[in-house]
Chain A
Amino acid sequence: MSSKLRILVPVKRVIDSAIRPRVNKAQTGVETQGVKFSINPFCDIALEEAIRIREGSKSLVEKIHAVSAGSIKSQETLRTALAKGADESTLIDVGDKDLEPLSVAKLLAKVVEAQDSNLVILGKQAIDNDSNQTGQLLAGLLNWPQATNASKVEVEESSGSVTVTREVDGGSETVKAKLPLVITTDLRLNEPRYASLPNIMKAKKKPLKVVKPDDLGVDVSSRLEILKVTEPPVRQAGIIVGSTDELIERLKSAGAV
């Protein structure tokens, strides 16, 4: 198998990470009206890694294809990806429906097939639903190996094998797998770049294809029902102590030390 990489980078449009989301009045979700959205930070890292792999060895990467499943507004997220260095993109327009990870993985599996991808790099989780599932689900559907929470990725050009250092609970571990492969990214993997203005202009001319789940033959109906979304319990207001002695005294009387 040729080890030329055809990288697929799925990206998600989410509420900006610096914004504190508020639960809506109907308790069905969080308020999205007038809220700033951005590319999910882990997806940004995934894209950056794909670009760095190409910068490391130009001959190694045949193409980088960005894909997003979401509302038509996810076009902006794909334009950002194109401005940063993706070559072409696909929007799977699902309207306002909030897709579950299993549905996203099934859609992505179809795009992998269509794009003949052999490396998929995803973020380890979206900061809205915090599921941390899509990469693993995709790898399972494709029966490809998976390397999650990657903090280092090395592609060996001659053999088509990839060595990945993963963040695990007690430290890190290194695994190796042959292409095709699914990787999910940890925060520590890299520092994403900003898109320059000329590149943002150029990105407007890059391909962005829009498809529907039906075009891909995927049923995206939900398995889960969100019964209710509520604010987390509010903590009681605390006290500011005047000295370390007072702090120790209060901790001792509370039995905390």
Chain B
Amino acid sequence: MLSASSLRRAAFSARSAGIIRSRLASTLAVIEHADSNVAAGSLSAISAAKELAGSDPVTAIIAGSNAAKVAESLGKVPGISKILVASNSAYDKGLPENLAQLLAENVKKNGFSHVVAASSAFGKNVIPRVGALLDVQPITDIIKIESEDTFVRPIYAGNAIATTKSNDQIKLVTIRTSAFAAAETEGGSGAAVEDAVDPNSESLSEWISEELTKSERPDLGVASKIVSGGRGLKDKENFDKVIYPFADAIGAAVGASRAAVDSGFADNSLQVGQTGKVVAPELYIAVGISGAIQHLAGMKDSKTIVAINKDPEAPIFQVADLGLVADLFEAVPELTTKLG
């Protein structure tokens, strides 16, 4: 006990050096889930929440008819002290209108100092709306936490990095998931589960349907390897014939440039870039992609970048660790055979 409490004190004084910290600081992680599983991006949001909270408690909030079930697995995540559960089917489809009300009410009631969510389509949809309800200026897509009020984020499609200090009472942030390691999913001692305050507000919109891209391949957002195709593939048939077998040979997810998506070679959900997904895998292989700044914004933090392009002047070669100047229609099938 003694050692634990002195550790806590030491941690606290280290953190409070130079930082005036409110005494009741606590952090709320907003959990996104699908098919009763915690979304991978939310595990990164939990890591970021833990980093922000230091020795202070981290609470998670989860909403939907499956929320209680997801809370069970969430309880095993180390470092979460409490889980607020809103078991209400009104939140099942993540409609932002009633969800923002739910989040705002719970932040107000519990006095959270920080709210963290993944910068996913879900997070970007709902968190700014919460900002409006709480009169707080949110901070999108942070890649680093400097201190409890100072965050680092890319601007201008990753061509500049801004260090931003928030003077709001509540810090409302979404995190770039590729910049924070996913939290462990085992080893926690079980968090207290409580009912969230549920304002039961009506959603102003109605969910009609969804069309999700079904795939056996790793999910683009969290894959450790990605093979991306661009305009150089020429048509959808080639894209399917060249990119997918290569991705499968090395166990990679498939991505695409905006040019490939616009030309109908691949689904929009596979788009990597400023306007699509931002990824940072161990290995990113760009096939027939010139490397426009819009695309680079989405992948230039990958650990190893490989470019295969027949144009030696293509800007992609300026960021590639390994470049192969070759006809992709010969090189890629060769690589597929040799690595398969």
Contacts and interface: CB of A to CB of B under 8 A. Distances in A.
A250 B322 contact: yes
Interface in A1-43: 15, 17, 20-21, 23, 29-30
| Chain B: number of interface residues, binned into ranges | 35 or more
Contact of B159 (A20, A243, A256): A20
Contacts of A100: 137
A167 B268 contact: yes
B140 A105 contact: no
A102 B170 CA distance: 14
Which 4 A-B residue pairs are closest in the complex by CB-CB distance? A140-B132, A136-B128, A145-B204, A223-B137
A46 B320 CA distance: 35
20 contacts: A127-B157, A130-B156, A130-B274, A131-B138, A137-B132, A139-B97, A145-B97, A148-B125, A166-B121, A167-B269, A171-B211, A175-B95, A176-B205, A177-B204, A187-B262, A188-B261, A227-B150, A250-B322, A256-B283, A257-B225
Interface in B287-335: 293-294, 300, 303-306, 312, 317, 319-326, 331, 334-335
A128 interface: yes
Contacts of B20: none
A139 B210 contact: no
A223 B283 contact: no
Interface of A: 15, 17, 20-21, 23, 29-30, 100-102, 105, 124-125, 127-141, 143-149, 151, 163, 166-178, 186-188, 222-232, 235-236, 238-241, 243-245, 247-248, 250-251, 254, 256-257
A150 B22 CA distance: 40
Contact of B338 (A101, A140, A144, A244): A244
Contacts of A238: 305, 317, 319-323
Contact of B165 (A124, A125, A224): A224
Contacts of A130: 140-141, 154-157, 274
B26 interface: no
A227 B95 contact: no
Nearest to B96: A146
B316 to A, nearest CB: 10
A244 B163 contact: no
Of B93, B131, B283, B312, chain A has the most CB atoms within 10 Å of the CB of B131
B96 to A, nearest CB: 6
Contacts of A15: 156
Contacts of A248: 335, 338-339
Interface in B127-172: 127-133, 135-141, 150, 154-168
A101 B324 contact: no
A235 B97 contact: no
A129 B155 contact: yes
B274 to A, nearest CB: 7
A23 B160 contact: yes
A163 B205 CA distance: 10
Contacts of A251: 283, 304, 306, 322
A21 B159 contact: yes
Given A238-B321, A239-B322, A256-B282, A136 B129 contact: yes
Contacts of A188: 261-262, 268
Given A132-B140, A173-B208, 20 more contacts: A102-B136, A105-B132, A125-B275, A136-B125, A136-B132, A144-B204, A146-B129, A186-B275, A224-B137, A226-B163, A229-B162, A229-B163, A236-B321, A239-B323, A240-B323, A244-B324, A244-B335, A245-B338, A248-B339, A250-B322
B155 A128 contact: yes
Contacts of B312: 240
A238 B160 CA distance: 22
A257 B156 contact: no
A17 B294 contact: yes
A99 B34 CA distance: 36
A226 B294 CA distance: 24
Given A133-B138, A231-B160, A235-B300, A240 B325 contact: yes
Given A188-B268, A231-B160, A141 B221 contact: no
B331 to A, nearest CB: 5
A257 B247 CA distance: 12
B140 A131 contact: yes
A125 B331 CA distance: 38
A163 to B, nearest CB: 7
B254 to A, nearest CB: 14
A248 B225 CA distance: 15
Contacts of B322: 238-239, 241, 247, 250-251
B12 interface: no
Given A167-B268, A239-B323, A172 B210 contact: yes
B334 A140 contact: no
Nearest to B275: A187
B294 A170 contact: no
Contacts of B258: 187
A175 B204 CA distance: 10
Contacts of A133: 128, 131, 138, 140
A176 B133 contact: no
A170 B129 contact: no
B155 A163 contact: no
Contacts of A135: 128
Contacts of B154: 130, 232
B160 A169 contact: no
B211 A173 contact: yes
Contacts of B93: 173
